[in-house]
Chain A
């Protein structure tokens, strides 16, 4: 059974996808993930998710999913005047 592995780095806030591993069940998956992906102190927390449980966007839908965002620069928060006195 294939599992997707997410590791939270020491100074990171979120778990980041590290890769995938084989294991018979969740407990073994966590341990295999520990052995394969955190042997150089990469992380402080691990999630494993059955690969079959991940719903992924399809490469065929790439155009309709992602291309429409390409020419909508106004979605980036760069068109706002920051009021005086506001310290970011």
Chain B
């Protein structure tokens, strides 16, 4: 019989794994919207690969989160049968894709954050999270590289590509602040070494993003955060539409397999 403190720790850990999973799941869904619409076939495949990497991370994290809940829940139940308010992802990843430059600016911010996060999470005192992070850190290193290559080329490209890349960086930057907010996280998880304090990876992440933006001959936007409360389940309008599409099949045909 688990003690009360163990049960509380289990709920907090499930919460943490769910938040990381939801970031990956929703980012994955947005990237899949590019498939067959990307600028070239090669980019369709590249974004599809990245989306599948993220989906894999989301699955592992949701399986783990589900196993910690009482009663346990499956990854499909968590992905398809939760309502908008129960999703814990940051607003950065749920908003409409916009143009290709926006997707790349967002991917640069998100993948750099994930790389810093998973790099530290490999040392987690929670063995499952450490193992998931060890697998994911190699994947997100490539995502970062992919976004970096495109931001460099579009930023330091034609006047049109430069203007659109700059507009994209300006539009996405304020939404990155939520990635580093720790207020939703149970401090016990950080103290026990199971979770990474998001605040601690802020400067490391932004230093790397700023370096790419500068190398792309773009301006780093001034400080300032958008108001976003995705971690608390209060989302932008975009998430409801996304979930309607993502969850439609599973909800219309419960238990469907193919």
Which A residues lie at the B interface, using CB under 8 A? 21-25, 27-28, 31-32, 35-36, 39
Residues in B whose Cβ lies below 8 Å from that of A27: 149
Contact B153 A35 (CB under 8 A): no
**CB closest chain-A residue, reference B145:** A31
In the bound complex, CA of A32 to CA of B41 (Å): 10
Residues in B whose Cβ lies below 8 Å from that of A31: 46, 145-146, 149
**CB closest chain-B residue, reference A24:** B153
Q: How many A-B residue pairs have CB under 8 A?
A: 26
In the bound complex, CA of A23 to CA of B42 (Å): 8
Which B residues lie at the A interface, using CB under 8 A? 40-43, 45-46, 49, 145-146, 149, 153
Residues in B whose Cβ lies below 8 Å from that of A23: 42
In the bound complex, CA of A22 to CA of B42 (Å): 7
Contact A36 B45 (CB under 8 A): yes
Residues in B whose Cβ lies below 8 Å from that of A21: 42
User: Pick the contact of B149 from A28, A36, A39 — CB < 8 Å?
Assistant: A28
**CB closest chain-B residue, reference A28:** B149
Q: How far is the CB of B19 from chain A (nearest CB, A)?
A: 29
**CB closest chain-B residue, reference A37:** B45
Contact A35 B42 (CB under 8 A): yes
Q: How far is the CB of B149 from chain A (nearest CB, A)?
A: 6
Residues in A whose Cβ lies below 8 Å from that of B45: 32, 35-36, 39
Between-chain CB contacts (< 8 Å), 25 pairs: A21-B42, A22-B40, A22-B41, A22-B42, A23-B42, A24-B153, A25-B153, A27-B149, A28-B149, A28-B153, A31-B46, A31-B145, A31-B146, A31-B149, A32-B43, A32-B45, A32-B46, A35-B42, A35-B45, A35-B46, A35-B49, A36-B42, A36-B45, A39-B45, A39-B49
In the bound complex, CA of A36 to CA of B43 (Å): 9
Q: How far is the CB of A45 from chain B (nearest CB, A)?
A: 16
In the bound complex, CA of A88 to CA of B233 (Å): 72
In the bound complex, CA of A63 to CA of B212 (Å): 54
In the bound complex, CA of A24 to CA of B42 (Å): 11
**CB closest chain-A residue, reference B49:** A35
Q: How far is the CB of B230 from chain A (nearest CB, A)?
A: 29
**CB closest chain-B residue, reference A33:** B42
Residues in A whose Cβ lies below 8 Å from that of B40: 22
Residues in B whose Cβ lies below 8 Å from that of A39: 45, 49
**CB closest chain-B residue, reference A3:** B42
In the bound complex, CA of A66 to CA of B149 (Å): 44
In the bound complex, CA of A28 to CA of B49 (Å): 15
In the bound complex, CA of A25 to CA of B145 (Å): 15
Q: How far is the CB of A50 from chain B (nearest CB, A)?
A: 15
In the bound complex, CA of A32 to CA of B49 (Å): 11
